[in-house]
Chains A and B, each alone.
Chain A
Amino acid sequence: MTVDSIRDRFLIAPAKFLGENPTKLNPLANVRVCEEWFLMELLDPILAPDKSVALSYERFNQLMLACGRSIASERFYSYFFKNVATIETFEDAVENFRVKAMWLFGNFKFAYKKLAARDLAAARFDALVGKTEARSDVEFTKRDAFQDIESIPEQDLSFLGYVSGDRLNDLDFAVATLKLLLEHWSECDTFLDRLGSAKQQKLSDVLAIEQFRFPSHSSAGVDEKQVSEALSRIEPELRERRARQKKAQDIGRKNTQRYLTLPDLDVYVATSMRSDEDYAAQSKFVRHVFENPAVRDLKLRYFDPTASYDDDRIKKGLIECLMLRRARVTLYNAGAEDTMGKDSELAATLAQGKPVIVYIQSEPRFVEIPGRGKIDMDRRAGTFSAKHPLGLQISTKTGVAHGIIVVRTIEQCARMLRKVLLHELEFSVEHEGGNFKLEEKETKSVLRVVTDDPLLSHSFWAYFRHTEPEPDI
C-alpha cells in the first residue's frame, strides 16, 4: 500500500463520515470549504511517511472546519477517534460513528451535529451512545423465572379464538332451532318458512359439519325421528365442548389480568390465529423460542396472545395495543398469509421506534393454503427482506426509518432476540441504489436507511421537524 493510496482512503473516510457519497477524483469536493492546497497541507502531519495516522484532537477539528462542520467536543473525539493510529483504525472509527449515526438518528449530518456538539452534557452524550452499546444480561438474569401465566392445553387453545367461538355459537343456535322445531313439529313448514331461506341454509351448513344432513330449503326430507336422534347426539358433544371452552376462557381471562399488571414486558408475540391449527402452531412456536438455550437464561416476559382472553373483542384489541406498547421488541410469526392484525402490529412497533423480528419458517419450504395453493416460504422471506412495503416504517417520535429483522429458524429467532435485547447486533453500512443501508451482519436485514437524494432528505427532515401531524381525524 502506497502513501498515495493511504491518502485516498483517508479522504474517502471523512466524506463517508459526513454523509457524502465520495467522488473518485475529489472525495471531499461536496463538503470542502477550504482550498485544495490547504486540505493537502492539513493532511501532511496526519499521514506520516511510515503509513501511521496521527489524528490529534486539534487536527481532527481543523479537518472538520475545512469541511464546513462545527468544532467537535473533546468527549466526542475521545470516544470515536482517540485510538486512531493507522488508516484501518481510522476507517473503523468512521464506520463505528456511521453505525451509531444511522442507529440513533438515521442521518449522518444531524448525528454529528448532535453528538459532537460542545454544549452537549457528558451524561447526555453517554446516554445517547449508550443506547447502541452492548448491555449486561444481569438485568434479565437476576429476575425470578417467568411463571405468572397459566398454560392452557394445546388442544383447547382454539376455544379462545373468536372464529372457533363463533363456530360453537353457530352450533348452539342450530341446536336451539332443532329443539324449537321438535316442540312445534306439527307446524314444521310454518316454522321453517318464518326462519327464512338464508338461516335455513346456514343451519344446514352448520349441521353438515356435525355429520347431520338437514335440508337447505323447504321441509322436504325432514324427519322428526332423525332430528331427535341428531339432537341427542350433538347436544351432549356441544355441552362437552362448551365446558372445555369455559375452562380455557377462564384461564385466559385470569392470564389477561396477570399480563395487565406485569411490571416488565420484554416481547410481544404477533401472529394471526384464524384456524385451530394456527393456535397449535403458534403455541409450539412460542414454547420453542422461549425455551431455546439462546434466551432461556434471560427469563423473558412475553405476551402470548393465545394465552389471553376477553369476551369483548374491543377490549381484547385494547389489551393487545397496550402490550405492544409496553414490550421492548415484537416477535412476528409471519405464517403463510398476511393479515391486517399482525401486519398492523408490525407497523405499529416500528412506528414506536422498536425492533421487530420476523420469523418465516424455512422448513417445509412450501405451505398449502386452501384456495390459494402452495406458498413458497423462501419467496415470502425474500419479499419481507427486500420488497415488503411495511418493511420500513418511520418512528413517529424521531423520524428515523426502522426496518425488520428477518429470521428463518427458531434457533436464529432466539439468537437474534438475545442480540436485540442485549444490543449485541453487529452491523455494516452498505451503499446500494442511492441509499445507505445499515445491515445486520448475520441475517442481512436492513434496519436503518439514509437516502442520497438531497431533496427528499431535506424535505423529509424539514417537514418532519417543523410540522405537526394533522390534528383532525
Chain B
Amino acid sequence: MYNQTPKNVSLPERNIVKTEMRTPAVSINFPKLDEAQLVSYFHKPIYTEDAFRELLRRFQSKIYAYVRNMLISREDADDVTQLVFIKVWQNLSSFRGESKLATWIYRIASNETISFLRKKRPEIDFDEAQLFMVETLQQDDSISEREIEAKLQKALCYLPFKQKLVFVLRYFEDLSYEDIAELTQTSVGALKSSYHHAVKKIEIYLGVL
C-alpha cells in the first residue's frame, strides 16, 4: 500500500543484498507463538522486525483504545499510540520478560499519556485537564451512538486522573489488580479502594447526567 515499488523500477544491487541477508532462513508462524516465545525472538536480530510486527498486531488496538479512553481526542490518541510503539521498538532488546508483556506496554502507554498531558497543558493539573475533555467528547462525531456509553465517558471526565486511570485499566482493559499494581507501582488495596470510589462516583454521575 505504502511501500509498493513500481514493477519497472529495479532495486539497487546493495538493497537486494541487504534484503537477502535479513531474510530469515526459517519462516516462523508468529501468530501462533505464546508470549514467552515471542519475547525470545526480540533478541534475535533477523527476527526482531517480524516479532515487533506481531506485537503490534496483538497490542495496537488495545493500546489505542486505552489511550483514546484516557485522552478522548482521536488525533491525540493516534499520536500517543505511535509514540508508545516507537518506545517499545527502542526498548525491545532490553525487555527480559520479567514482567508480563502487556503490563510492560501498558506502563509505557500510561507514561506516554501523562507526558503528553503535561506537554499539552503544562499550566493546569491533570484533574482540571479532564474537564476540558468533556468539550472534546461532545464535539466527537465518531463516538458511539449509544447514549449510555457516551454518558459513561462523560462521567469519566469528572473523575480525578488517578481514579480514571485505574478505572479504565480495570473496567475497559480487564487487567487484574496485580497487573495494575505492578504497572502503577501501588498496592492492591489502594487500587481496590480507588476503583471502588471511581465506580461509586460514576454511578452517581450517571444518575445525574
Chains A and B are bound partners:
no
Residues of chain B touching chain A, judged by Cβ–Cβ distance below 8 Å, are none
